[in-house]
Amino acid sequence: MTIEQELLYPNVENLAHDTIFESYEEHALAEIALRRLLLSNPRTEAFKARITALKELIQHHVKEEESELFSTLEHQLDEKELESLDQRMKERFDEVVAAGYAAVLPEGVGKTSADLSKKLIKAAREKRRRAA
């Protein structure tokens, strides 16, 4: 996501404006989902639910990019432009891998209102259990 946001989207935004801005939003949601997943205990129900949601979000995003964005770029950019972009993205990918995922994720966005709601639900369940 970082590489697309840094190199791909800014360079092709004029060719696929609506698709690019939707992609930015999908990346934001995936980033939040990833952060929440990383904060989860793998032994909990929340972990499985979060990994499933993130997987589905990413699959949807990839499907849209492959069917809309990439086909647009293949028709709008010449081979030299595509190769240059590809090379820069590969180089940046190697840098990101070497630095680790945490180096490219901004800080924050660990908890959401969904977390608070789940705490309220859990407290209500506990109260009912004690009353029974």
Q: HEC states along 100-126?
A: CHHHCCCCCCCCCHHHHHHHHHHHHHH
Q: pTM for this structure?
A: 0.74
pLDDT digits (tens, 9 = 90+) for 58-67: 999 999 999 9
Distance CA 80, CA 12 (A): 14
| 68 DSSP 8-state letter | I
Joined tokens for residue 30:
């995936």
pLDDT digits (tens, 9 = 90+) for 61-100: 999 999 988 888 888 889 999 999 999 999 999 999 999 8
Residue 125 lies in a domain: no
Q: Give the count of domains, the chain.
A: 1
Residue 118 lies in a domain: no
User: pLDDT band for position 42 (50/70/90)?
Assistant: very high
Residue 13 lies in a domain: yes
Burial class of residue 23 (count of CB atoms within 10 Å of its CB; 0-12, 13-18, 19+): buried
Residue 99 lies in a domain: yes
